[in-house]
Chain A
Amino acid sequence: MAEIKAGDEINTGWWPESVRVVENTDQNNITSTAFTAGSPECSTTFVAPLSGRVAVIVGAEMRNEDTGNNRVFVTFEIRLGSVAGAVVQAAVNARGVSTTGDAQASQFMTHGNMSMVETLTPRATYFIRAMHHVDAGTLNDIGHRRICVVPLP
């Protein structure tokens, strides 16, 4: 392997920046049983590191105001480049958070989840946004959505 010479460009271990986005606009009386991004979206972009791996954090404040055992789920999806890009990580419940599903009205509860997304293309830009849906019911609300993306070795 050649030595580095004067004037050569030295890249650091090249870590793209960790990113964070928060949306505190209430999403009230959610009825969609299919994943939806809500309005406004809680979205941002990030650049994949050389490893192609990132940790994605989802945090949310949610409640179910009726007495049915309905849940609201908040998770994320990732697309290539922008919102119009191809889906590279579809929204799945297991990567996100949900309410309890007890047949009781709940107050707003808060917790989070974290998972790894792999095989991203190094240096490519990705679009990520929070996605949510309900089991059933008309009285599920979201008060806070948060997405963080941290590049991993």
Chain B
Amino acid sequence: MSYIVEVRDVWKKFPFKRERPGFKEFIVNLPKFVKRNQNSHFWALKEINFNVKQGECLGVIGKNGGGKSTLLSLILGTIYPTKGDIRVSQKMTPLLELGAGFHPDLTGRENALINGVLLGLTREEVAERLQAIEAFAEIGEFMDMPIRTYSTGMYLRIAFSIAIHTDPKLLLIDEILSVGDEGFQKKSREALIRLIKGGVTTLLVSHNLSVIKEICNRVIWLDEGEIKAEGESSKVVEEYLKHSL
């Protein structure tokens, strides 16, 4: 059995001081910085090991700052592990922050093309799907207007619509999204759940434990960068609840 995602002994360190020094300060205080950089950091993730199988939906739960989002970013490949190894053998579709890379001066259509290619399609494939994307987003003639004229809701609608029309093979979700108004929220949630239940491999970070219990086969509980528990959804969620109370 081959895994879609393999995470082997992954550690991730962040420097504590996020404020970066200027060039002059850096040169003047070089020895100090070298010394300090060795000490002041924290481990966002420690010794993380797990696998995700084809078609599985893995939930990730835990307190804020537990390392959940860092873990997703690592799998996505936008940040690198300090130690360890991550292997992903499928095309990823991140639903972390919708509309990443949208440019306000470009139209919905132009942005959809770029975003679709960024999310793993070819230009031709996006062009074929543009109609479906447009239909799902239901933003009418705004499709050909610059994104800066959009309302927040419209922005999220088009962004979400692009993301789910890219044939996701591996979904990375940070919170099941509440997109747009009542009607579209329901529609987008249903579309996502249909994808997940339809066998798309999914990593789902959420604080909504009932959703986790409902759609995840397996759950990982991250606490202060370490895996505190892993296993069957309802069992891990229960354990987590007991601990949090």
B is bound to A: no
Residues of B within 8 A of A (CB): none
Residues of A within 8 A of B (CB): none
